Amino acid sequence: MSAVPKVAVVFATMNRSAAALACVRALAAQTSPPALVVVADNVSEDDTAVSLLALRDLPFRLILHRMAENRGNAGGVEEAMEIAFAEEADAVWILDDDSWPRPEALSAMLAEPYDDALVLHPIQIDPANGRFTWPLQIHENGKWRLAFSMDDMPPGNRTQSRGVWTGALVSRKIREAIGPVRGELFIRGEDEEYPWRMESSGFHHAAVFAAILDHPGPQNIEMMSFLGKRLFFEKGLPDWKLHYKVRNMVWLKRRQSGGIKALLTAIAYAIAAFRFDGPSRVRLVGKAALDGWRGKLGRIL
């Protein structure tokens, strides 16, 4: 496909009306707005639905999808994507409710002839410090390395990247090849699993330098080296978020690389939890890792 695609934006939200409104308004301010925006509302109890439905004169059609139950970000995006493609979108742009594209972001991604076998994405910038929201894996001189800011990027307009979820522009072709988002991951896993499935199926990512997505980053990231690998650990996460993170990473690593690598992943998280959060968190990590090993996915009840 080389024609300009019909783009739908999707994101999930819950009880964060200010963030969701800011995201929709940023989309309305695009120099080339999307054709459709689908917001999956995970049973919000605040004014999210009322506020979004009150918006007027938007340059796109807005669908507020009220979820039957809270399925987390993974389940919300899964359902929103299926709605978007049912509405005949050619490509879906995956955002978070607190990721706000700058006005030229979408037009910059579509400035060159569109390739529906390539996952384009913007550069995510943390507004607090001007650095990347998360370190970006880029391919240069035959090797993968991490970039932490635009100062680390190679010359040119774009570069091959990998592992990107927020901001990924996913074509219908790619969705049909790899299937839907795995909603049972709930949170803290879909952002790793879906990009891995893309890459495993032969679809590459490309970061577009002129496309900027303002996305506040985590405040308490610690980096630890374990057996020659870097592990980024978010210190002070609520128990339930840490459980999902560890469970999903152990489950995914077992699928990717087998039992030994999954076990090492669990050990690495246990060490990081002990080191950065204290010994009281190790038991939680162990239970989460066991759930991941057993494939016990879905929402924690």
Residue 299: inside a domain: no
Cβ proximity of 126 and 149 under 8 Å: no
Do 256 and 124 fall into the same domain? no
Residue 45's pLDDT is what?
96
Do 86 and 230 fall into the same domain? no
Residue 280, burial from CB neighbour count under 10 angstroms (0-12, 13-18, 19+): exposed
Please state the domain count of the chain: 2
Report the distance separating Cα 97 and Cα 19, nearest Å.
6
Q: Which domain holds residue 151?
A: 7-214
Of 182, 214, 246, at which residue does a domain stop?
Answer: 214
Do 137 and 155 fall into the same domain? yes
> pLDDT for 18-39, tens place per residue?
999 999 999 999 999 999 999 9
Nearest of 276, 292, 196 to residue 243 by alpha carbon: 292
Cβ proximity of 90 and 13 under 8 Å: no
Instruction: Write down the mean pLDDT value for the chain.
Output: 96
Do 195 and 258 fall into the same domain? no
> pLDDT for 89-98, tens place per residue?
999 999 999 9
Residue 300: inside a domain: no
Do 42 and 108 fall into the same domain? yes
Report the distance separating Cα 266 and Cα 20, nearest Å.
34
Residue 63: inside a domain: yes
Residue 245: inside a domain: yes
Find how far residue 192's CA is from the centre of its chain.
8
Residue 2's pLDDT is what?
57
Do 177 and 274 fall into the same domain? no
Residue 57: inside a domain: yes
Nearest of 158, 152, 75, 78 to residue 118 by alpha carbon: 158
Tokens, residue 183: 């909603």
Query: What percent of the chain stands above pLDDT 70?
Result: 99
Do 180 and 249 fall into the same domain? no
> pLDDT for 180-212, tens place per residue?
999 999 999 999 999 999 999 999 999 999 999
Residue 1's pLDDT is what?
56
Nearest of 61, 4, 7 to residue 34 by alpha carbon: 7
Residue 1: inside a domain: no
